[in-house]
Chain A
Amino acid sequence: MSPTTTDIILLTLASGGILLALTIIGEILHARRGDEDSPVLETYMTRVQSWWGIIIIVGLALLSGKVGVMIVCAFASFAALREFLTLTNKARADHISLALAFFVILPLQYVFIGLEWEAIYTIFIPVYAFLLLPIVSAIRGNSDRFLIRVAETQWGLMIAVFCVSHVAALVTIDFPNYGDRSLLLIAFLVIVVQLGDLLDFFFGRRIGRTKIAPTLSPKTVEGLICGVGSAIIIGGLLHWITPFGVYGAMVMAGVSSLVGMGGNLVFAAIKRDRGVKDWSHLIPGQGGFVEQLDSVIFAAPIFYHLTMFFWVI
């Protein structure tokens, strides 16, 4: 067994251990309450169950290597794009450009990443899709809300395909003397960002006083500081799976977590604008894929580019 595989198994087991503890706590609380119904506990338990699913899928994807990561990320992109474009403005005239977004641009982006054509996959959506899809929509000649329609479609592609695909793109980074260990960067990114979120939520509930954007989200300054702080500590503890060194890992974890929390706020604003509570109902207890991924979506491209900028080039 290669050291990378051992590390992935170790990380999956450790995450499983944390979840096991959370599951046991939930079961104990449940048993104590007896027959009394508690919506908070119910929500907590469904969330923990969804987390089991997520950890198993991510763990298996990482173990199966590059192909598994591509498939899981492509599927996540598809689910996220579907949730996003369900809520955007569109007209009959956009039918073909939207079909192209789902069935051509999304798969091509992952093909380019699979082929490791870095010069293409980093600009394919921001340049080619950005310019070509509005042309396809314009040909059908409906100018009603045209700019809104094409802008929202492009935003959906950037978020759901471009950003999500940068998680998969981490696999293709080739560090000197690092071998196939770039797979572990995905584990690093997902763990620091998601645990940072979780602890932000926990501390925000406990000691949160000052709301950051009271009209949008219950997120507090105190929660955010504790969340990012925890992410920095966790990043430092996990530095051995990265090529960043202890301090580098701490900075990368802190930046990713902070950007991710900004992503939470942005998505909360979009949901508020569209008058929906959840992006969809596909993940029990958590809403949709976009909900689950929002912070990772925002953090991934920045994590990717900072890694390239400071450690590869």
Chain B
Amino acid sequence: MKYLRALAARIVGQAIRIFCRAITAVRADWRGIEPVPRQRVYYSNHTSNADMPMIWSVLPPALRREVRPVAAADYWLKNKVRAFVGPEVFNCVLIDRRPEVDDKPLDTIIKALDDGSSLIIFPEGNRNMGDDPLLPFKAGLYNMGLARPEVDLVPTWVANLNEIMPKGEIIPLPLICTVTFGEPVHVQEGESKDDFLARAADALVALRPEDDG
């Protein structure tokens, strides 16, 4: 049964990847960084639920096997299908967002890093519905960078998804999606939290293509 589930997860993963490619012709643009198997945290803008599958789909297989998206437990455990796709297909690191639960999300994330996984995170915390390119970042990215300074923090811009699949729409539009990976950032010695988060956000916005938005 275990093997069967693992096989099913692989098949569903491939199907999602092929679907993303067929609909949006999603393409990776490695700008300032190479697609090599190093431990990394890909931090990305968040406008749509399809952001994470897009990034996941464009990673080369060797990198995809090592990557774990950090995601909200309340979303991915809502029903049986999601509980299969989130933890088993994408191998998500699930974070409990409920205020009454007092576990430390950072500990879970650091543990995943110590296991050798790379991560995909959305430091804005929520989907960005406004006109600004990014919402203010949460502290998590800074804390990760501080706790594990050797890990590359890679800015990852997903373009066009707010038009492909806006919140509340059911039919995705087949527009071309580009995922741009930029030069990694690290927390510098003595750098304050706000300075670092501003610098990380600037590095991400700099990857935004001119025609986006």
Do residues A92 and B166 form an inter-chain contact, with CB atoms below 8 A? yes
Partner of B176, one of A90, A103, A275, A280: A280
- Nearest to B166 among chain A residues (CB) is A92
Do residues B173 and A102 form an inter-chain contact, with CB atoms below 8 A? yes
Do residues A86 and B166 form an inter-chain contact, with CB atoms below 8 A? no
Q: Does A282 touch B at the CB level, under 8 Å? A: yes
Q: CB-CB < 8 A to B25: which residues of A?
A: 79, 82, 280, 282
Do residues A103 and B171 form an inter-chain contact, with CB atoms below 8 A? yes
Do residues B174 and A102 form an inter-chain contact, with CB atoms below 8 A? yes
Q: CB-CB < 8 A to A281: which residues of B?
A: 27
Do residues A95 and B169 form an inter-chain contact, with CB atoms below 8 A? yes
Q: Does A99 touch B at the CB level, under 8 Å? A: yes
- Nearest to B24 among chain A residues (CB) is A82
Do residues A86 and B210 form an inter-chain contact, with CB atoms below 8 A? no
Q: Does B160 touch A at the CB level, under 8 Å? A: yes
Do residues B173 and A99 form an inter-chain contact, with CB atoms below 8 A? yes
Q: CB-CB < 8 A to B102: which residues of A?
A: none
Give me 14 other A-B pairs in contact (C-beta within 8 A), A98-B173, A99-B173, A275-B210 excluded.
A79-B25, A82-B25, A82-B174, A83-B176, A85-B175, A86-B160, A92-B166, A95-B169, A95-B171, A95-B173, A102-B173, A276-B211, A281-B27, A282-B25
Q: CB-CB < 8 A to A99: which residues of B?
A: 171, 173
User: Which A residues are within 8 Å of any B CB, using their own CB?
Assistant: 78-79, 82-83, 85-87, 90, 92, 95-96, 98-99, 102-103, 274-276, 280-282
- Nearest to B165 among chain A residues (CB) is A95
Q: Does B96 touch A at the CB level, under 8 Å? A: no
Of residues 151 to 175 in B, which have CB atoms within 8 Å of A's CB atoms? 160, 163, 166, 169, 171, 173-175
Q: CB-CB < 8 A to B211: which residues of A?
A: 87, 274-276
Do residues B166 and A95 form an inter-chain contact, with CB atoms below 8 A? yes
Would you give the shortest CB distance from A264 to chain B, in whole angstroms? 21
Q: CB-CB < 8 A to A83: which residues of B?
A: 176
Do residues A90 and B27 form an inter-chain contact, with CB atoms below 8 A? no
A87, A95, A274, A281, most chain B CB atoms within 10 A = A95
User: Which B residues are within 8 Å of any A CB, using their own CB?
Assistant: 25, 27, 160, 163, 166, 169, 171, 173-176, 210-211
A86 and B175 contact, Cβ closer than 8 Å, known pairs A95-B166, A274-B211, A275-B211: yes
Do residues B210 and A82 form an inter-chain contact, with CB atoms below 8 A? no
Would you give the shortest CB distance from A67 to chain B, in whole angstroms? 21
Would you give the shortest CB distance from A105 to chain B, in whole angstroms? 13
Q: CB-CB < 8 A to B173: which residues of A?
A: 85, 95, 98-99, 102
- Nearest to B23 among chain A residues (CB) is A82
Q: CB-CB < 8 A to B175: which residues of A?
A: 82, 85-86
Q: Report the Cα distance A90→B162, complex, angstroms.
A: 11
Q: Report the Cα distance A102→B24, complex, angstroms.
A: 12
A78 and B174 contact, Cβ closer than 8 Å, known pairs A86-B160, A87-B211, A274-B211: yes
Q: Report the Cα distance A87→B171, complex, angstroms.
A: 19
A-B pairs with beta carbons under 8 Å apart, 27 shown: A79-B25, A82-B25, A82-B174, A82-B176, A85-B173, A85-B175, A86-B160, A86-B176, A87-B211, A90-B163, A92-B166, A95-B166, A95-B171, A95-B173, A96-B171, A99-B171, A99-B173, A102-B174, A103-B171, A274-B211, A275-B210, A276-B211, A280-B25, A280-B27, A280-B176, A281-B27, A282-B25
Would you give the shortest CB distance from B167 to chain A, in whole angstroms? 9
- Nearest to B210 among chain A residues (CB) is A275
A78, A86, A92, A95, most chain B CB atoms within 10 A = A86
Q: Report the Cα distance A204→B210, complex, angstroms.
A: 32
A79, A99, A274, most chain B CB atoms within 10 A = A99
Q: Report the Cα distance A172→B211, complex, angstroms.
A: 39
Q: CB-CB < 8 A to B166: which residues of A?
A: 92, 95
Q: CB-CB < 8 A to A82: which residues of B?
A: 25, 174-176
Q: CB-CB < 8 A to A87: which residues of B?
A: 211
Q: Report the Cα distance A281→B178, complex, angstroms.
A: 10
Would you give the shortest CB distance from A127 to chain B, in whole angstroms? 24
Would you give the shortest CB distance from B28 to chain A, in whole angstroms? 10
Q: Report the Cα distance A103→B171, complex, angstroms.
A: 10
Q: CB-CB < 8 A to A280: which residues of B?
A: 25, 27, 176
Q: Top 4 A-B pairs ranked by shortest CB distance?
A: A86-B176, A86-B175, A99-B171, A82-B174
